Structure 1
């Protein structure tokens, strides 16, 4: 069926939804929408596998609106679970667009901010609630959320849910909502924990898959640079930002400290058109930074993986992985910020000696090898400080031990050599 669908009209959506889609500027349904929407409308449980930036939100929200039709009662009828507050907000913003010609009510709840306003929205009466699992259970336990009328449960970004350890809360939620319901589970990758969740959560599911698991967008040009240390990475970053044509850039790092340091460097040496977001930033600050980036008010956003999947910006020219992510699937989601909406994109990754151990695993996930480029002339390569070198050697030892449990490690060898019995006594 998906192969012969060419327009939203052929998906049998009602006039109100089609008007909203037209206002949003959508031309034709994406492959995941063509495959998933008919299955959801037919009442099936659906396992949707599609990479970031393929239109997954519309793939489950549009048929959900067809199912709900109009506002009814005071208790929610559909629950959407998302792993991060940014993604939850993004989903709710899309629901706002798609419901502009209906009276269907919706709200979003998430942690990191006071619950008072969120509770007031729920008490007005809602049909669709988008929530992070922890905040949902928090408000439910206060007796505010009534679950008896829920007939649709959607889990988005299931792989990220598993990475962030939300399985206990998801199990709690499954125990307090009606057994008779339609279930939709969407994920970019299918690691073992997600497969187990799908077996536990879905009943005779139909699969809507539009690409190999975790394959990256074909429009993304992926390049890597072997860079020995933090200072050299900073030098390379400064060189590229000064020389290349970067219209809108996301820079991903592993830690909050690195995020702040990279932000300060760019703000001081390159441009003031930069913002930084990570877990230590207040919720309002994070949202304001994201909106400034989306609106084009700033052209560079430095971020930890907290927002790897929670921001929808269509014209990102470059993604720079200042650090290689330790959760390999996050590489897919990071670079998926570019190459969206049929645009080309470039993903650059800086790799130190210890991080090279992760590249082979990432290449297995994306199903292709990534080219290593030479460091451009003019980039100063700094000497690696002793402490940073020791940290990288420990990481390498850890990886080698995982591969070979009998491996004792470079530090063990040094320790053995330093024992008194290993040296000849001096006269």
Structure 2
């Protein structure tokens, strides 16, 4: 079956064929014919199975071959990375038409996005926050939207965007064509669909005999020690047949640290996490897609925006929070019908979390195998050549500082101010230190001052008399007279 057989117009099908996309996936086969009739759809399919074209092709065709200026279609996505990815897919499918697409998301300057809207862009792909921001400034008009799509709706629920989605729906006309797509379908999302959709048809493009995990992904789970993980990852990266690899970490700090460690080991790694600027995140993602870097370290912020067909391995540096997060992480590999490998490290403290994921996905691996970088089964499971180590190059030895390389006697002479006696500042400190001696009196201070004048090398001025603090009104520790007899 081809896209033309599904009712897609020839110029759109030709644009896909020019990129080698000729055969529709199951979710596309089931949703495209219905969507072309204007039927509201809830599409549910596993990640990486082609949902974007499932709603994108009918949307482009609905606007016509020569759409007029102004926003006619709105696609709402939860993350910036997914926004960029969906925009690229829609632009590809519409490349033979004058239809224009604009990405609206935070972290970038307003000016470029506003200019594209004023130029008459017909399709808007955006994240809820920036969309509402521009709509509030009356720079984005949603009154003429004919088609509205929610992509990865369950992630929007996780990120707390549900109220924002309701506000966006309220700015569109009730007669719009609405489609909702996601890999999972929690109850609140179904309730949202019932409120804003007109008799939607729920389509599940899955094999009844297939589990929740994709059959074309090999799942390997290890109980690993935190101090050995970097070495284990380094050896996995030398597996035969390894292509692009995504490593997911729990925190931004862990991602930054792992990038530095892998680059130090000789690998080519980039990162995508929340502490990076949007421009830096986009550069890192572009380098990964272009093959300039073959390893991407990411937090869950990018788990739904990495749509690269040649990712062969996904490594979970730590256990995801739940089974949905696990599915979206490992779904970065095995895309477009290809095979992939997912490796998950389970810390001793996270065994209970893994037990819940294992039970929910029915993976049959309740007790992960205890694994170290030297474990023989690590090499066998992942096809790692014998003798491989986790480092491609030696760590450079830091240069020795010049001061540290000097002989000890010379360093001492430099710090003391020369080979002769102490410096003036040192002598001054010594003289002042004499002021603080217990039991010192003004007479002894005067005697020392006269001795210094006679040629001892000490400063000639008499040190300043200091008042002594006594506790409880008693005398000094050396038996001096009480404060009343001292004249204080």
Residues 158-184 of structure 1, C-alpha deviations (whole Å, 9 max, x = no match): 111111111111111111111111110
Which of 226, 240, 244 is residue 248 of structure 1 equivalent to?
Answer: 244
Is 1:117 aligned with 2:112? Answer: yes
Question: Is 1:154 aligned to 2:149, yes or no?
Answer: yes
Contact 2:235 2:373 in 1 (8 A): no
Other structure's SS at 1:341 match: helix
Q: Who is 1:35 aligned against?
A: 30
Residue 220 in structure 1 maps to residue 217 in structure 2: yes
Shift of 1:340: 1.2
Task: Tell me the residue number matched to 2:165.
Answer: 170
Contact 1:83-1:132 within 8 A present in 2 as well: yes
Q: Name the stretch that deviates more: 262-271 or 127-136.
A: 262-271
Note if 1:266 corresponds to 2:266.
no
Kindly state the Cα deviation for residue 245 of structure 1 after the two structures are TM-superposed: 4.6
Aligned position for 1:302 = 297
Q: Deviations over 1:342-401 (max 9, x none)?
A: 211100000012222122332344343247344156269xxxxxxxxxxxxxxxxxxxxx
For residues 22 and 138 of structure 2, what CA distance do their matches in structure 1 show?
43
Aligned to 1:408: none
Q: CA deviation at 1:7?
A: 1.6
Does residue 374 of structure 2 align to residue 378 of structure 1?
yes
**Which residue is equivalent to 1:334?**
329
Task: Flag the structure with more relative contact order, 1 or 2, with Cα contacts below 8 A and sequence separation at least 6.
Answer: 1
In structure 2, the residue matched to 1:231 is 227
Q: Does 1:198 align with 2:193?
A: yes
Equivalent of 2:285 in 268, 283, 290: 290
Which residue number in structure 1 is paired with residue 253 of structure 2?
257
Secondary structure of 1:65's match? helix
Q: d(CA) in 2 for partners of 1:375 and 1:349?
A: 11
Query: Residues 34 and 254 from structure 1, CA distance in 2 versus in 1: closer, same or farther, beyond 3 angstroms?
Result: same
Contact 1:274/1:299 (<8 A) preserved:
yes
Cross-structure match for 2:130: 135
| Inter-CA distance 343–373: structure 2 relative to 1 (3 Å threshold) | farther
CA distance in 1, matches of 2:105, 2:245: 27
CA distance in 2, matches of 1:25, 1:300: 25
SS of the counterpart of 2:336? coil
1:264–1:379: structure 2 CA closer, same or farther, 3 Å change rule? farther
In the other structure, the counterpart of 1:44 is 39
- Cα distance in 1 for partners of 2:50, 2:133 equals 30
Change (3 A) 1:214 1:166: farther
Matched residue of 2:311: which SS?
coil
Match of 1:312 among 290, 300, 307: 307
Shift of 1:246: 2.6
Q: Using the TM superposition, give the Cα deviation of residue 220 of structure 1 relative to its aligned residue in structure 2, in angstroms.
A: 0.3
Q: 1:369 to 1:193 in 2, by over 3 A?
A: farther
Unmatched 5+ stretches in structure 1: 1-5, 381-427
- 1:104: Cα distance to partner? 1.4
Distance (Å, rounded) in 2 between the aligned partners of 1:365 and 1:74: 48
Q: d(CA) in 1 for partners of 2:99 and 2:181?
A: 23
The TM-score, its normalising length taken from structure 2, stands at: 0.73
- Let me know the Cα RMSD of the aligned residues: 1.9
TM, length-normalised to structure 1: 0.83
SS of the residue aligned with 1:80? strand
CA 170–269 in structure 1, closer or farther in 2 if over 3 Å, else same: same
Which residue does the alignment assign to 2:64? 69
Q: Distance in 1 between matches of 2:237 and 2:329?
A: 18
The alpha-carbon distance between structure 1 residues 19 and 197, as it changes in their structure 2 partners (threshold 3 A), is: same
Report the Cα distance in structure 2 between the residues aligned to 1:369 and 1:72, rounded to whole angstroms: 52
State the structure with more CA Rg: 2
Runs of 4+ in 1 over 4 A off after TM superposition: 242-245
Offset, 1:195: 2.3
Separation in 1 of the partners of 2:287 and 2:60?
A: 30
Shift, 1:44, TM fit: 1.0
The alignment partner of 2:247 has SS state of strand
Match of 2:85 among 75, 87, 90: 90
CA distance in 1, matches of 2:170, 2:279: 33
Do residues 362 (structure 1) and 357 (structure 2) align?
Answer: yes
